Structure 1
Amino acid sequence: MKDKDLKRLVYDKYSQIAARNEKSTCCCSGADKTEVYNIQTGDYSELKGYEQDADLGLGCGVPTKFAGLKPGDTVVDLGSGAGNDCFVARAEVGESGTVIGVDFSEAMIDKARNNAAKRSYSNVEFRQGDIEEMPVNGNSVDVVISNCVLNLLPSKDKIFHEIFRVLKPGGHFCISDVVTIGTMPETLRGAAEMYVGCIAGAIPKNEYMDKILDAGFVSLDVVKETPIEIPDEILSEYLTAEETEQFKRGGSPVFSVTVVGTKSECGCKSGCCS
């Protein structure tokens, strides 16, 4: 599929999810089949600022837990959905901080804005836009967070350069995402539902890390890594019984990782001041 078609696929699916009121789970049973909307939702329930009605269960980690947020920080959440990570971030940065959520889906933006308005949050805002061309000024953000969104983007190189652009010198990001370690069957990679389910768009871990470093970040740390087990009922839709058994025997090639990367204090790309 072309990049614009993949984006439309993601836009349509997540706009449909935004229109629903219930939280998604790893595999949601529809009337006719099981669909993948997410793969491994982190538990936010013990975090300060958590709002259950803003948690659609679409993540693969808890980046706000590892983001090192401080009072007064300006934070941008990429793929902010119904506002879950933004509200948790707000509890960390306090009234003196600012939280900006960016999402491609207008339906998600509307849902997040309604959630913020119900709580009279004055320092949380949501902007509709493509995070490959972020509606955020350069050198203006202390921390960028994102939860299981970047693997949905066709141009991952571009988004890491965008993250670098908006961060202040010395700023950092904390991203939970999906990567592969090993080989994934082409039938899974080619399935549209597996793409919007955050699996088919994942790239090898080493390639993912290289793209971050190529964007100019001076340090990179994987703070959490967890294998993701794809349920048998999902695999059976795309693989034969023999292929499913072989896939499982080799161990999961799909992992959730939470990564922290830092922009240099001088604001230069890695190595340019050495």
Structure 2
Amino acid sequence: MNTVPQSDEQLRQEVSARYARTALQVLGTTETNTASCCGPSCCGPSEKAETPPPTEASSCCASTCCSSDVSQGNPITSHLYTQMELGEIPVAAALASLGCGNPTALAELIPGEKVLDLGSGGGIDVLLSAKRVGLTGFAYGLDMTDAMLALAERNRKEAGIENVQFLKGIIEAIPLPANSVDVVISNCVINLSADKGQVLREAYRVLTPGGRFAVSDIVVQGELPPILRRDMESWAGCVAGALEEETYRALLQKAGFVEIEIEITRRYSLDDIASSGASASVTALSPEERTSVDGRFISAFVRARKPETLR
């Protein structure tokens, strides 16, 4: 079992390397994975009956659930987007999605808004956001991993979307000026940071007054056994770095946010946590620890707002 590095920079490098492997895997497999879907349940919530099925050229259904092992079977990263949403984007954007929710739905984006996605990966949420804000709006994606940025840019070109820019950088130091975006979204990335308070302060800084913070993230209700916190596989699987719910609220408030809400969208069993990459540390838990952890991990929509009048 690999342990979490003590240095923030070492942790960042380890996480980046793991996500780079996902991007490189997708870059090497997507060109042949564009045919035949295995059914609506593999892609996410089914659409209404009158919704036409995706075409072979646009559907990522087959690649997501049949042809790729990137996120197949992972209880945290699977079944997050509708067939309609997946049909709007290139296959590779869905294949590289390692999120735990659908922040583009949460954010209730409107035409003309500027959006920033923290930890944008293969670009799925950026591309969906760009479509929602329209040509009068704009979507930024921020990622620290070169391979993910290359994949995202390729996906942008394939989708023919122009109102998008992918930026290289870290979410603890966003390379945008203050008061520059209307909405900050993120999909199961803030939990990967070693300095979550700094991430939230940066999100607050770049938001315009009245701007919205709308992220999907893994949250834990209660304390975690130390062995889970130390496990690098558990951290990369979005478990070990998860904030306790009340700590998340407190950090948002300290950063200056108001109207803070945390809405549970999924609750995970211990078996789910083991399947997400924490099997070694879960096996090492005592019976008492297993009982204390079971059902305590949740996917959540985390909402907050930057005040209209700054303090």
TM-score after normalising by structure 1: 0.87
Structure number with higher helix proportion: 2
Q: Which residue of 1 aligns with 2:12?
A: 7
- Please give the residue correspondences for 1:32-43 in structure 2 after superposition, counting only pairs within 5 Å: 39-41=76-78, 42-43=80-81
Question: In the TM superposition, what is the alpha-carbon distance from 1:70 to its structure 2 partner?
Answer: 0.6
Q: Which residue of 1 aligns with 2:127?
A: 87
Deviations 1:142-182 (A, max 9, x none): 11100000000000010111001000111111100011112
243-252 or 145-154, which moves further after superposition?
243-252
The answer to whether structure 1 residue 109 and structure 2 residue 109 are counterparts is no
Q: What amino acid maps onto 1:243 in structure 2?
A: S
CA distance in 2, matches of 1:242, 1:115: 41
When residues 235 and 68 of structure 1 are mapped into structure 2, their CA distance, relative to the original with a 3 A threshold, is closer
Question: In the TM superposition, what is the alpha-carbon distance from 1:244 to its structure 2 partner?
Answer: 6.0
When residues 241 and 198 of structure 1 are mapped into structure 2, their CA distance, relative to the original with a 3 A threshold, is closer
Q: Which residue of 2 aligns with 1:33?
A: none
Q: What amino acid maps onto 1:259 in structure 2?
A: V
Asked whether the 8 Å contact 1:184–1:253 carries over to 2, the reply is no
Q: Which residue of 1 aligns with 2:247?
A: 207
State the SS of the aligned residue for 1:264: coil
CA distance in 1, matches of 2:12, 2:199: 14
User: Structure 2, unaligned stretches of length 5 or more?
Assistant: 30-62
Asked whether the 8 Å contact 1:151–1:177 carries over to 2, the reply is yes
Q: What amino acid maps onto 1:209 in structure 2?
A: R
Q: Which residue of 2 aligns with 1:145?
A: 185
Asked whether the 8 Å contact 1:235–1:244 carries over to 2, the reply is no
CA distance in 1, matches of 2:109, 2:88: 13
When residues 120 and 244 of structure 1 are mapped into structure 2, their CA distance, relative to the original with a 3 A threshold, is farther
The answer to whether structure 1 residue 258 and structure 2 residue 296 are counterparts is no
The answer to whether structure 1 residue 16 and structure 2 residue 32 are counterparts is no
CA distance in 2, matches of 1:167, 1:43: 26
When residues 247 and 46 of structure 1 are mapped into structure 2, their CA distance, relative to the original with a 3 A threshold, is farther
Deviations 1:32-75 (A, max 9, x none): xxxx9883432243337444320123011111111020101000
225-234 or 99-108, which moves further after superposition?
225-234
- Please give the residue correspondences for 1:52-91 in structure 2 after superposition, counting only pairs within 5 Å: 52-55=91-94, 56-91=96-131
CA distance in 2, matches of 1:89, 1:154: 27
CA distance in 1, matches of 2:217, 2:127: 20
When residues 195 and 241 of structure 1 are mapped into structure 2, their CA distance, relative to the original with a 3 A threshold, is closer
Q: What amino acid maps onto 1:43 in structure 2?
A: Y
Taking only the aligned residue pairs, the percentage that are identical comes to 34
When residues 93 and 240 of structure 1 are mapped into structure 2, their CA distance, relative to the original with a 3 A threshold, is closer
53-62 or 104-113, which moves further after superposition?
53-62
State the SS of the aligned residue for 2:161: coil
State the SS of the aligned residue for 2:81: coil
* Number of residue equivalences: 263
Q: Which residue of 2 aligns with 1:189?
A: 229
Question: In the TM superposition, what is the alpha-carbon distance from 1:224 to its structure 2 partner?
Answer: 3.7
Q: Which residue of 2 aligns with 1:238?
A: 281
Q: Which residue of 1 aligns with 2:290?
A: 247
Q: Which residue of 2 aligns with 1:178?
A: 218
Question: In the TM superposition, what is the alpha-carbon distance from 1:117 to its structure 2 partner?
Answer: 1.2
Provide the alpha-carbon RMSD of the alignment: 2.7
TM-score after normalising by structure 2: 0.77
The answer to whether structure 1 residue 131 and structure 2 residue 171 are counterparts is yes
228-237 or 143-152, which moves further after superposition?
228-237
CA distance in 2, matches of 1:192, 1:37: 17
Structure 1 ranges of 4+ moved more than 6 A: none
Decide which of 68, 71, 83 is 1:45's aligned counterpart.
83
